[in-house]
Amino acid sequence: MRIIGIDPGLTRCGIGIIAAGPGRSVAFEHVEVLRSPADAEPAARIHQIGSSIERLLDGQRPGAIALERVFAQDNVASVMGVAQISGVVMYLAAHRDIPVGLYSPNEVKSQVTGYGSADKAQVTAMVTRLLGLGAPPKPADAADALALAIAHAWQLGRAGAARHGARGGDGLAETPALRAWREAERRAGKRRGPRG
């Protein structure tokens, strides 16, 4: 399944795209950082970033989106930009029936590094290693977006595994993301063929 991780922001918006396979396998597909000029009108900046995200969603056709959850900071202007772009992403995703997973920075750090208080350098190093990249993705927004996508892939994998392993009544909701994950695992199983 293709997953797009989005580290939202009005000045810089990180986009990381991975392919998630069975188990915890993840493969790098694309990374970029969308930018808008700080001196432009907010509506024009939102439109510029939103149009680029729309282009990526339509071109890449992801099975899921992982989006950083908005959290309070001292810098209100920064929080507003993150919230505005997050709203655009959720609108575009809902319009295309793409499920969105929301993650706090600590949740992503914990999933990717095993330590919820990891610093940006540690996250970048793990993303580089997990995806087999020749060089660390830069700037940090790019690495953060890829980390979001990896965290979501692993979260979907765990939920799918729990659902498959249960004998009914497992309590997991039948969500579009879980259906897409199971379909990806089913297709991967067909490509591998029977085990000997």
Instruction: Report the run of H or E that residue 122 belongs to, with start and end.
Output: helix 120-130
Give the pLDDT confidence score for residue 38 in this predicted structure: 93
Task: Please report the sign of the dihedral spanned by the C-alpha atoms of residue 94, residue 49, residue 105, residue 152.
Answer: positive
Q: Binding residue per annotation — 170?
A: no
- Distance CA(174)–CA(188), nearest Å, equals 21
CATH class of 2-192: alpha beta
- Distance CA(45)–CA(47), nearest Å, equals 5
Give the pLDDT confidence score for residue 183 in this predicted structure: 63
Give the pLDDT confidence score for residue 32 in this predicted structure: 97
Q: Which residues of the chain have pLDDT under 50?
A: 164-175, 191-196
Please confirm whether the linkage preceding 194 is cis (ω < 30° from 0).
no
Closest CA to 93 of 101, 83, 104: 101
pTM, whole model, 2 decimals?
Answer: 0.81
Residue type at 151 in one-letter notation? A
Tens digit of each residue's pLDDT (9 = 90 or more) over 72-124: 666 777 789 999 999 999 999 999 999 999 999 999 999 999 888 899 999 99
Domain ranges (residues) in the chain: 2-192
- Residue 54 catalytic? no
Which structure tokens are listed for 168? 């009914």
Closest CA to 109 of 69, 139, 75, 79: 69
Q: Binding residue per annotation — 68?
A: yes
Catalytic residue among 7, 29, 32, 170: 7
Q: Binding residue per annotation — 7?
A: yes
- Distance CA(79)–CA(10), nearest Å, equals 10
- Residue 41 catalytic? no
Catalytic residue among 39, 54, 97, 141: 141
- Residue 39 catalytic? no
59 φ, ψ to 5°? Answer: -80, -40
